[in-house]
Amino acid sequence: MRCREIDESDVAAVIALLARGFPAAGRVHWVRALTGLANRPVPAGLPRFGYVLDDGGTLVGAILTVFSAINAGDSVPTVRCSLAGWFVEPAFRGYAVRLHLAALRRRDVTYVSTTAAPHVRPTIEAMGFRRYTGGQFIAAPVFGRTEPGVRVDALHVGDPLDEALAPDHALIADHLAYGCGVLVCTAADGLHPFIFRKYRRRGGSIALPLVRLVYCRDLADLTRFAGALGVHLLKRGVLGITLDADRPIDGLPGVFVSRGLFAESPNYFKGPTPPRPGDLAHTELAVFGP
């Protein structure tokens, strides 16, 4: 039994393995996931896909890793890794922790888990992961405040990016390539980007008229421009925005939920730089899609 990095020759077998392990997600989801990992930049020296358990040439377990350089306003970007698709065939579950330990060996990396199933949460908590959000806030932005003169524009792949967005150029370009939607609010003090994904419950076949917040510079921006964003989204059939949170968002109309139809997995992290609510950039949700 070996625990090793996934290479390109393993991709088809990893897709088949994860499709068996997560039947509700479907094979198409994992094809999209591995294709997304194959086509995105990875910080030097880090795995492109993740790790597998190799039992004499047969893959019996896998964990996907999404490594990214995150610019949090510091001169030196930090490295974040989003963990996904942790599955081991039932006969080999005793080796499951080896996969996680292989993926977690870098002390300078902040690891995040945004889709941990209920039976997995005690294990990752025992490994030192801590929750940083425990529920979702479902906002009705059209009923929020609107600053006078704010304009909302959508960006598309290949559009030129204004120099005022320079700190986020790479982030925006990457997420457009992943298939996310990008809106930019133009206000008196400059340009403010927002990145969204269509909302779909894991394993759900029906897309609800909601989008999920992937990134904004500050949640205060969402409150500040809620009305303008809400009108823009409503014209395109989107009724609301969901975002990971621990409590209601002051000044933003909506409801906080921690269980039920709209409650997603709690978000966990381990490492030196805790993520902030409102930032799911380069995570499983952003790269793989809903």
On whether the 136-263 domain is CATH 3.40.120, my answer is: no
On whether the 2-134 domain is CATH 3.40.630.30, my answer is: yes
State which H helix or E strand residue 159 sits in: none
Encoded tokens for 44:
């030097």
The residue whose two tokens read 């059939």 is 237
Query: What's residue 55's pLDDT?
Result: 95
pTM of the model: 0.90
Q: Which pLDDT tens digit goes with each residue over 100-137?
A: 889 999 999 999 998 888 888 998 899 899 999 988 99
Encoded tokens for 54:
């190799």
Residue-averaged pLDDT of the chain: 90
75 pLDDT more than 50? yes
Separation CA 65–CA 77 (nearest Å): 18
What residues does CATH 3.40.630.30 cover in the chain?
2-134
Complete DSSP assignment for 212-258 = EEEEES-HHHHHHTHHHHHHHHHTTT--EEEEEESSPPTT--EEEES
How many CB atoms are located within 10 Å of the residue 27 CB?
14
Taking alpha carbons only, the member of 45, 268, 28, 262 closest to residue 139 is: 262
189 pLDDT more than 50? yes
R_g of the chain, CA atoms, integer Å = 19
Are the C-beta atoms of residues 286 and 180 closer than 8 Å to each other?
yes
The residue whose two tokens read 């992943």 is 178
Alpha-helical segments (H) within 41-199: 96-103, 121-126, 169-178
199 pLDDT more than 90? no
Query: What's residue 287's pLDDT?
Result: 92
Separation CA 96–CA 214 (nearest Å): 30
Q: Which pLDDT tens digit goes with each residue over 23-59?
A: 988 899 999 999 999 989 899 999 999 999 999 999 9
Separation CA 60–CA 13 (nearest Å): 10
Query: What's residue 262's pLDDT?
Result: 60
